[in-house]
Structure 1
Amino acid sequence: MDNQRNLILAVVLCGILILGYDAGISYFYPTPPDTEQVNRATTPEQRRSADIQENSDAGPSATRAAVEADQIATAVDLDEALASGNRVRIDAPRVEGSINLVGARIDDIELKDHRATVDKDSGPVQLFAPAGTPIQYFAQFGFVGDGTQLPDAKTVWKASGDVLAPDSPVELQWDNAQGQRFRIRLSIDDNYMITADQTVANMGDGPVVISPFATITRTSTTSSKSTWISHSGPIGSFGGSVDYGPDYKDVVEETAISGAADPAWIGFTDVYWLGAMIPQSGAGLSTGFRSLGNDLFRADMIYNPTTLRPGRQITRTSRVFAGAKESGVLDLYQDQGISQFGLAIDWGWFRWFEKPILWLLRQIFSVVGNFGVAIILLTCIVRGLMFPVAQKGFASMASMKAIQPEMKKLQEKYKDDKVQQQQEMQKLFKERGVNPVAGCLPMLLQIPVFFALYKVLILAIEMRHQPFVFWIKDLSAPDPAHILNLFGLLPFEVPGMLALGPLALLLGCTMWLTFKLNPAAMDPVQQQVFSIMPWVLMFVMSPFAAGLLLYWNTSNLLTLAQQKYLYSKHPQLREAADRERAEKAAKAQSESKA
């Protein structure tokens, strides 16, 4: 009766897990709610940030009602916004788009090498987009200060050229007719980096106080979800370490979060994309994140104010990265002096394993030309390299099984004297040359390696939109073939974890076979739970990316082959487990009769 009751409880808990998974994810990773308007600042840094707020139409200036009214008034279609005049075209090897001369904004960035959808005829990814559009995300350069008229969000700058290209920088100019001349010289490299030299010259009769600034504003409605394995949201490098801590919800709750000392870069990250600002090295500045309400957020980078006497000028050089989180590109910028920039990818603790694995995956893909095949071959290589470790663990298990009868005798003989029992056990281990923890150490060594492989497949942008075979057109997306709607023949969408595809079904079968082949002796309840677990995990893992399921299936098949081989080399493992299983079954039968 107890076994039946435990089994029913296990089945009920598994059902709750399956049905409540989507609700749990929505609870733990919710969309940031609307927020009240930012309070009026009181510190010098907050006052300068508030000055930026007043010089920008990206957010509110008084109350939440004003925010919503402004949002409604400026809501525009993307094509309509980009069709307006006063733009300088961007044409670089890997990005294209335009600069809005109204407000000196970089608000149109498309990534030439990355498609928006899996359809090969789809356009490129639109990363930056103008304010008021559904995907608004842009960088802005400007000046705040005292003692003179300053450019604001409505200022129309004059451009020195029509196209910003790697060999063709563009200078934006504005004269306030009060003696101050403002310039922003923009240049772009062959990847994703735009450099802005912000200069103000005081040709007037009296001193003025100026603070150049740069901001990145974005909506969180189009952001990827932040999870325990991959951070998405505000990000920055401060004091030589990357802060993955705050997410959009944190910024909403705090209204504004100040950046720590010694900032190297600051911005917003998604799983595959990054918008970040890099300040001038050695220049004094303050940074932070701010909630603007209505799912809008801003990263600030404000240089310390400088008093400009007549005839003097200052220049501050900032950079904006707007592009894909390609490990090689980020590492290249890090080698050029941007501290910790390669860690914009949330590698975690095992990055020393993950980066070599990603490099090997790229090399295999360059040879075979199919990313799914590359995942299979990479999994085989990693499992092959770890095979000696697994073999050593099995040998240790076999040694322990061989002396198990003697261990039981010692346990019975000294059951009332635990100290003596331990001493005799240690003596037995030493005589037989057995290390009782040697079987665990190989397993512990394998954990970081296999976790690193798993995380590489989640973070690697190289897997995005890569096909495998037949119906799998995108390995970074869930398996599109769903068994419950007969692979699309029935006219309904299968929800959440019920969307079982062939890869998920194969995963359940291979996991069941793996558990079945394991000779470890278990009591009846454990056996029942382990018999259910593969099918529960099959539902849990069905929404995961097809590339991950392909990796798990390959790993399970290799595990089966490895177990078959090692058990053939150490038959005493299976014999001992079968003997223990028979003894437990006989004992359970005798207890039931009693």
Structure 2
Amino acid sequence: MDDKRNMIAAILLSVAILIGWNFVSEKFFPTPDKPDVTRTVAGPEGAAPAATPGQPAALPAPGVPAPATAQAIRPIEAVLGDGNRIPIDTPAIKGSINLVGARVDDITLSKYRQTIKKDSPPVRLFAPAGTKAAYFASIGWSAQGIVVPGPTTLWTASGTKLTPATPVTLSWANGAGQTFRIEYSIDDDYLITAKQTIANTGTAPVAVRSGTYIDRTGKPTDPHEQDSWTIHVGPTGYLDGKSNFTNYDELEEAANNTVAYTSAGWLGFTDKYWLAAVIPAKGEKVSAAFNSLPGGAYRAAFARDLVEVAPGKQVTTTSRVFAGAKEVSTLSRYQDDQGITRLSNAIDWGWFEFFEVPIFKLLDWLFKQVGNFGVAIMVLTLIIRALMFPIAQRQFGSMAQMRLVQPKMKALQERHKDDKPKMQQELMKLYKDEKINPLAGCLPIVIQIPIFYALYKVLMLTIEMRHQPFILWIKDLSAPDPLHILNLFGLLPFTPPSILSIGILAVILGITMFLQFRLNPQATDPVQQQVFKIMPWLFMFIMAPFAAGLLLYWITNNLLSIAQQQWMYRKFPQLKAAPAK
């Protein structure tokens, strides 16, 4: 009767874990996208139209021009075909600057595709106003008593194309003695530099303030691209002396829909893989704010203090715009060479950055050596197992001791089956007499937890791992296994729910875990015995929706564990035979 109750308890516990994990994982461990559903950053086709907000009173630079006035939503190609543009051409990005408003509002990332298909278009980061999910960076001035350029100002350009070798200067005069200039330059990667100049040729001094901002319409609609406990998506920056992670809801609920700061190293909007940020000159004192604007739009802006420009004088300030992929090496280089404080924190490593970054660097180095990301994961697993070999040997020794005393343990259980406290007391005495630590076998599992979490974060966060193939049907190791058993590997026209999306890798994981548990000494408690029998298949369901790279790591680790245990049994055959005596 007790055995039946124990069996029922084990089954109910397993079902509770399986169902509960489905809810917990959605909040704390979101699974990555499938390989063929990556969308453009500028927004899916169903995104809300671009907003046309007015100037919020709390913006740190009152008078910085607001987005363009209301207009019909048009396709991006039609808006870009209107002309009045200066092309942008670098090894990393393609796009254009709109001479109307001097906006950087057209950027695609040449090195990254929207999906794993060979003919997939490049990822679009910025899109102009008047299109769905507009996203752009602008330079502006504010002043009292003089006319400053605005969102509808048509600038004059000197230069025909912005490249790393050819900067472009835009100019505009207000007809009252003030001339405004913006000199745009760009490097080989994602950093655009804008030198803003106001020259006063009038007869009286003028007081002006300059600022730089990014406007974005709409939130990410894909559930895998939304803010979560482990991955930050939304407003971010280095503000008031620390890294800041704000979410869109906080902006909407804040007073005046504004969150303001007295100092800023940089600020902008981050997606899982992409970042758009505005950055003042190194060491420059600016104020900054995030705003939630009417129409579902959001703004990140910084502004300088008012400065007086005397007649015959000019003032120049420098702003920078980052618009590109969150490549670890690129962010670190800008942080070190350009003095952009904590720009690398645009990647939300979390509390375990000290551990995750070395794992990433080792995995990235291995990938560059072997040329296959899946093989790199397997080699990483082998290295980790080698480093843990002494601990694993200690674990095996503990398990071997448990096997040797298993007949005595069973005898104690049989002798005191009606007196549980006495049985536990005698078991602890047996452990002490035989010098056995029953918890020693748990140490490798405990160590594996931070390693597994670090690999999870690396696979989910780093652009270097995105769309990396392995072999055969695994075309993207940062996405789940695409072949599901329940729909006959795609032959049936439906997608199973995540809790039932069992792929080939998940089945292999369950089998290898089952074989590994078979080599371990059998638990003395009947409930534990049943749990260990069910656990491999439980983990098969739990791990199925995760990135294929994580399953590959776990499978490789299981195989290495099995090989090590088999080797130890061949070296010490008496350990395997002991329980039979």
TM range (shorter): 0.7 to 0.9
Superposed, which structure 2 residues align to 1:140-151 within 5 Å? 140-151=138-149
Alignment partner of 2:354 out of 352, 356, 359: 352
Matched, 1:322 2:323: yes
Deviation at 1:162, TM superposition (A): 1.3
Percent sequence identity over aligned pairs? 49
Name the SS for the 1:466 alignment partner: coil
Contact 1:240–1:340 under 8 Å retained in 2 = no
CA gap 1:396/1:471 in 2 versus in 1, 3 angstroms: closer
Task: State the distance in 1 between where 2:464 and 2:28 align.
Answer: 26
Equivalent in the alignment of 2:252: 252
Q: Does residue 1:6 correspond to 2:18, yes or no? A: no
CA distance in structure 2 between the partners assigned to 1:138 and 1:536 by the alignment: 47
The CA distance in 2 between the partners of 1:325 and 1:265, in whole Å, is: 15
**Alignment CA distance shift 1:227-1:74 (3 Å):** same
Give the corresponding residue for 1:242: 243
Alignment of 1:187-206 (within 5 A): 187-206=185-204
CA apart distance, 1:12: 4.8
The answer for the alignment partner of 2:280 in structure 1 is 279
**CA distance in structure 2 between the aligned counterparts of 1:47 and 1:19, rounded to whole angstroms:** 42
| CA pair 168-575 structure 1, distance change in 2 beyond 3 A | same
Shift of 1:192: 0.9
What amino acid maps onto 1:296 in structure 2? A
Query: What's the offset of the Cα at 1:344?
Result: 1.8
Q: Are 1:333 and 2:334 counterparts?
A: yes
- Deviation per residue, 1:227-248 (Å, 9 max, x gap): 322222111113553223x222
2-side partners of 1:16 and 1:451: how far apart?
21
- Aligned CA distance change for structure 1 residues 328 and 524 (closer, same or farther; 3 Å): same
Pair 1:556-2:554 in alignment: no
Report if the CA contact (8 A) 2:89-2:161 is conserved.
yes
| C-alpha distance in 2 between matches for 1:56 and 1:150 | 13
Matched-pair contact (CA < 8 Å) for 1:22–1:496: no
| 1:155-170 paired onto structure 2 within 5 Å | 155-170=153-168
Residue matched to 2:508: 506
Say whether residues 1:486 and 2:488 are aligned partners.
yes
Matches of 1:137 and 1:342, distance apart in 2: 22
1:5-404 superposed matches below 5 A: 5-7=8-10, 9-10=12-13, 12-14=15-17, 16-17=19-20, 46=58, 48-49=60-61, 51-52=63-64, 55-57=65-67, 70=70, 73-218=71-216, 219-221=218-220, 224-244=225-245, 246-254=246-254, 256-336=257-337, 337-395=339-397
Q: Corresponding residue for 1:588?
A: none
In 1, Cα distance between the equivalents of 2:487 and 2:83?
Answer: 49
Query: Residue 56 of structure 1: CA displacement?
Result: 1.7
Q: Which moves more between the two structures, 124-133 or 563-572? A: 563-572
**Alignment of structure 1 residues 405-554 onto 2, 5 Å:** 444-519=446-521, 521-554=523-556
Q: What is the identity, as a one-letter code, of the residue corresponding to 2:199? A: A
Whether the 8 Å CA contact 1:169–1:186 is kept in 2: the answer is yes
Find the aligned partners of 1:288 and 1:307 in 2 and give their Cα distance.
23
Residues 58, 477 of structure 1: alpha-carbon distance in 2 compared, 3 angstrom cutoff? farther
Change (3 A) 1:300 1:161: same
Closer, same or farther: CA 531–217 of 1 in aligned 2, 3 Å:
farther
CA distance in 2, matches of 1:367, 1:181: 54
1:26, 1:441 → 2: CA distance? Answer: 23
Contact 1:454–1:548 at 8 Å: present in 2 too?
Answer: yes
SS at match of 1:252: helix
Deviation at 1:395, TM superposition (A): 3.8
* Cα distance in 2, alignment partners of residues 355 and 346 from structure 1: 11
**CA distance in 2: counterparts of 1:540 and 1:443, whole angstroms:** 17
CA-based RMSD of the aligned residues comes to 4.0
Q: Compared with structure 1, are the counterparts of its residues 442 and 10 closer, same or farther at alpha carbon in structure 2 (3 Å cutoff)?
A: closer
Going from structure 1 to structure 2, the CA distance change for 1:7 and 1:356 (only over 3 Å counts) comes to closer
Please report how far the alpha carbon of residue 493 of structure 1 lies from its aligned counterpart in structure 2 after TM superposition.
2.9
Unaligned runs of 5+ in 2: 33-42, 420-424
1:161-181 Cα distance to aligned partner (Å, 9 max, x none): 110011100011111111111
Q: 1:449 and 1:237, CA in 2 relative to 1: closer, same or farther beyond 3 A? A: same
The structure showing larger relative contact order (alpha-carbon pairs under 8 Å, at least 6 residues apart) is: 2
Report the CA distance shift for 1:355/1:41 in structure 2 as closer, same or farther (over 3 A): closer
**Paired residues of 1:402 and 1:572 also in contact (CA < 8 A):** no
Alignment TM-score, normalising by the size of structure 1: 0.81
Residue 257 (structure 1) shift: 4.5
**Secondary structure, counterpart of 1:163 in structure 2:** coil
Q: Distance in 2 between matches of 1:77 and 1:233?
A: 25
**TM superposition shift of 1:316:** 1.5
Query: 1:396 offset after TM fit, Å?
Result: 5.6
- Report the counterpart of residue 589 of structure 1 in structure 2: none
Aligned equivalents of 1:327 and 1:474: distance in 2? 20
* Residues 1:403 and 1:204: Cα distance change in structure 2 (over 3 Å): farther
* 2:559 maps to amino acid: L
Report the Cα distance in structure 1 between the residues aligned to 2:186 and 2:202, rounded to whole angstroms: 32
Decide whether aligned partners of structure 1 residues 33 and 533 sit closer, same or farther in structure 2, where only a CA change above 3 A counts: farther
- 2:40 is matched with none
Q: Distance in 1 between matches of 2:499 and 2:568?
A: 35
1:518 Cα shift? 3.3
Q: What is the CA–CA distance in structure 2 between the aligned matches of 1:440 and 1:525, rounded to whole Å?
A: 18
Cα distance, 1:40 vs structure 2: 8.7
Alignment match, 2:38: none
| Deviations, residues 70-95 of structure 1 (Å, cap 9, x unaligned) | 4xx44221111211211100011211
TM-score, L = length of structure 2: 0.82
Q: 2:14 touches 2:535 (CA, 8 Å); kept in 1?
A: no
Indicate if the aligned counterparts of 2:28 and 2:230 stay in contact, CA closer than 8 A.
no
Q: CA deviation at 1:109?
A: 1.0
Q: CA deviation at 1:434?
A: 8.1
Deviation for aligned residue 1:574: 7.3
Contact 1:465-1:474 at 8 Å conserved across structures = yes
Quick one: structure 1 residues 84 and 454, their matched pair in 2 at CA, closer, same or farther if it must change by over 3 Å? same
Give the helix-richer structure, 1 or 2. Answer: 1
Deviates more, 1:266-275 or 1:563-572: 563-572
Counterparts of 1:275 and 1:142 in 2: how far apart (Å)? 17
CA offsets 1:112-165 (integer angstroms, 9 cap, x no match): 111222112222211111123234221111112222111111111111111001
Distance apart, 1:106 and its partner CA: 0.7
Please state how far the C-alpha of 1:50 moved relative to its aligned partner: 5.4
Displacement after TM superposition at 1:37 (Å): 11
Structure 2 distance, partners of 1:157, 1:38, is: 23
Q: Give the drift of 1:432.
A: 9.0
| Distance in 2, Cα, partners of 1:565 & 1:458 | 35
In the superposition, relative to structure 1, how do residues 476 and 442 fare at CA in structure 2: closer, same or farther (>3 Å)?
closer
Instruction: Give the gaps of 5 or more residues in structure 1.
Output: 60-69, 416-420, 583-594
Whole-angstrom CA distance in 1 between matches of 2:27 and 2:449:
26
Give the AA of the match of 1:167. A
In the TM superposition, what whole-angstrom CA distance separates every residue of 1:518-568 from its partner, at most 9, and x where no partner exists? Answer: 326253333333433333332332222222222222222223333444566
Question: Contact 2:52 / 2:295 at 8 angstroms: preserved in 1?
Answer: no
CA contact (8 A) 1:48 1:144 kept: no
